[in-house]
Chain A
Amino acid sequence: QKEVEQNSGPLSVPEGAIASLNCTYSDRVSQSFFWYRQYSGKSPELIMSIYSNGDKEDGRFTAQLNKASQYVSLLIRDSQPSDSATYLCAVGEWYTGNQFYFGTGTSLTVIP
């Protein structure tokens, strides 16, 4: 069973601070990596995807991937109360029938 591990939190940061979310995965041959945000009672929505080692920035969000360490992270700069949600890390493998594996999520609270 492929594993995607996240710190469940809860993680609390003050408004305007940087929130750092971390994820490790077990399968060294995984090809694609995603961060989803899920508000309570809602479905997961895609924030970032990353396929290559290094950083990828999109607005206030930066995803970082290190395949050698099997580690992917998400940084949220200038955190806002509206960022309060559960963040899901996901790993995709197209060669095994296009499957996706999800962590259990990290709960983030941004304190005004």
Chain B
Amino acid sequence: NAGVTQTPKFQVLKTGQSMTLQCAQDMNHNSMYWYRQDPGMGLRLIYYSASEGTTDKGEVPNGYNVSRLNKREFSLRLESAAPSQTSVYFCASSEGGISGNTIYFGEGSWLTVV
């Protein structure tokens, strides 16, 4: 059981370039999330999708866009990368609802913008 899979694992971008981080989960979860983690800042929510067909901004959405392609897939796009977006990005998923809201993480994507 793969769980949450995200690609790529490592990426170096030049300022102004665009890229998409891909995420897929095989647990039939309703909710999916993108977080970024920076030293001393903890996990900060960028965007989330509570269910298929919906997306909402989190704490730090500026400079990002997302697409919930279907129930399994949730992608994060950087349209014009900036050095401030250098970070580790985690995709996560959760079943949703009061009885199933544990969140599970992918392995992370290390992004450096130069």
User: Chain A: residues with CB nearer than 8 A to chain B?
Assistant: 1, 8, 31-32, 34, 42-46, 49, 88, 90, 92, 94, 97-100, 102-105
Contact = CB atoms under 8 A, between A and B. Distances in A.
Given A34-B102, A103-B42, A104-B41, 16 more contacts: A1-B59, A32-B101, A43-B90, A44-B90, A44-B105, A46-B104, A88-B42, A92-B94, A92-B103, A94-B96, A94-B98, A97-B31, A98-B30, A100-B101, A102-B42, A104-B42
Interface string B72-97: 00000000000000000010101011
A103 to B, nearest CB: 6
Interface residues of B, number: 27
Contacts of B105: 43-45
Contact of A94 (B41, B101, B107, B108): B101
Contacts of A32: 101-102
Contacts of B42: 88, 102-105
Interface stretch (B20-28, B43-51, B63-71): B43-51
A90 B103 contact: yes
Interface of B: 30-31, 33, 35, 40-43, 45, 48, 50, 56, 59, 90, 92, 94, 96-98, 101-108
Given A1-B59, A103-B42, A98 B31 contact: yes
Contacts of A44: 43, 90, 105
B109 to A, nearest CB: 10
Contacts of B108: 42-43
Contact of B48 (A1, A45, A46, A97): A97
Nearest to A1: B59
Contacts of B35: 102
